[in-house]
Structure 1
Amino acid sequence: MTIAPCVFYQKQIIRGKDQFYALLSSSWQNMELINTTTLSNTSSVDLDHCDLRCRRILIALYSVVLLGGTAGTVMMSRMMFKRKSQSMIATIIVNIIVLHSILLVTLPFRLSYYVSVVWKFGSFTCRVVSSIIYGHMYFTFVFYVVIVILRLLIYFKKLQMQRLQRYHAVVLSITVWMVGSLIFLPVFFLKYGIDPSHSEQHRCFEFYKDLNCRELIIINYSIIVFMMTIVVVLFLIKMAVIFQLAKTHWPDTWAHQEYRAQIKSLFFLLVIVVCFIPHHVFRIHFIQNFSEIEDSQLVLYNEICIALTTVCCLDMLCFIRGVIH
């Protein structure tokens, strides 16, 4: 009679242990599942962002542009102030200096973000800083093209520099600023960065996610085709003019002022090709291949191409060194 209860209690204890181990095993599996899910979510988020290598490259590139661009802009401004030139080309150069100065002011914000990996200045400031780098690129492109076209018009006797007054350059500058602002600002501020996810977790410069919008894809392709067409046409005309001048004035080609002027204005096209074209060429590949689940390589290269557009701020150092007069 006394043995039966003992056996009964032993079975209950064993059964309780089995239930405890089963519950412990279940809890452990749930924890592993949660950890796996968390890691996968974290990795999927991190894939869309600039990694450590990307940030180091961008910090180095923006630092060089900030230091070199600031030095070149300050020294060029002093030279322009001393000379007090009234020419149309000089007025356009002043516009480029203003554009470079606006961009250089925003670079410390970018450097702060890439160093700390936290955007501390609000979503509106992020959109402003991000828009300035694109506005700088397109406005600078327009003024570069204007200089090249002016030189070509002078060569083909369609325009005489002596007839150009300072007010012509001022009117041209105001027109470029007004028309460019009316086209650029609505597109960027009404289409880019309107997704609430951009303001989450204090991040910035991730507006490439808006490229899923069909309207933005069309706008990007239109800009790319427009820029590429202008650059190719001007480059072919410029090379034909230079070749004709070299053939006509050989062997004392460099002694002729018109030849030197065409060579020096070619500098602006070369800046466009080196600084702006890589971004737009890669943009085609980026739009066609980017998705939320891909690795960060496309984002890395896209950010580097965008940063490369700011290198044109170093053009003022070339002015000072006498490449362009």
Structure 2
Amino acid sequence: MKRSGILLLLCIFLLQHKSNAQDHMYSQFFNSPLYLNPALNGQFPADLRMNLIYRNQWASLPGTLNYLTASVDYNVPRFGGGLGLMVTRSSEGSAYLTKTNFSGLYSYSVGSDEYVLSFGLQGGMTNRKIDWSKLIFDDQIDQTIGIIPGQTSSAELPAFNNKYYFDSGAGVSLTLNRLLVGGALQHINKPNETLTGSKATLPMRSVFHISYRLPLDSYGGGDDEDGSYIIPSIVAYNQAKVTAINAGLQYKNRGVNAGLWYRSSGNTGQEAFVLTFIFDLFINRDGGEKLRLGVGHDANFSKVNYTNSTGSTEGSLGYETTLPKRDNEAKKFPGARRCFDFY
């Protein structure tokens, strides 16, 4: 067998092995609530919410590691839950291995003004695709000049370059006074995402998160947005026997929010310190509007160090608004504290 064929088989093996790796994680998990937990769908004080988050990971390393999630959810006061749509897209490697997921979300809440327990469901289709033509094999490389311009490899490429499959998730969250705790499962149906015909099961991903909003002044006693707060949080992910923990805190004062985090990914050695900022660019409390900008940067160390990778950078936008002529008060869910507005 030619070495080019061996390289192709190695590439296919690595693509299949990727199924046993972790899904990507956002350092600004609080700016992508639907990706974090389907039960947070519809859990906000306005009528309509839109979120967009982008992550560029390890920009200095060869190949691309880019991730994007866009979502919109609608607060349904009758049952204190919501309806939502979410699109997540990832692009990894020089062969542009991409995954695009379109999901619908539904959540339902029970509770009172003292607590709210929310349940969420998620389901949608995922497309996994690769551009085989972007791969370079040894018969396209010259020892002197490197890649030979216009050279075609004799390696036989696989017949298929994309795969569609159904994917599902579910979650639960509890808001109790100033405490928010929740958990979620993704890839519950363990879909087969192979590109070659052999089985490549996508393992389930579990998420646990907990946050507490601690007021620092008299304003915070009434949960006034003009107050100052410290918000410690822990988020733990587990997938394919790999556990990642993101722990830290945010300091919130009016429309500015700054956070410092530590993330450990267990035996993968992907550890990082994370700095995040949130800026409320526009707030119209009478109209229930809020425009928010978030930025974050990971300074990773250990196996993949910051000098080689220049870290990872995130940017996010969020917008909330109320709809005209909507009678919120007449159909209001009794749990006024249900919103994921800790940040």
More strand by share: 2
Higher Cα radius of gyration: 1
More helix by share: 1
For CA contacts below 8 A with separation 6 or more, give which structure has more relative contact order. 1
The verdict on a shared fold, with TM-score over 0.5 as the criterion, is no
What TM bracket, shorter-length normalisation?
under 0.3
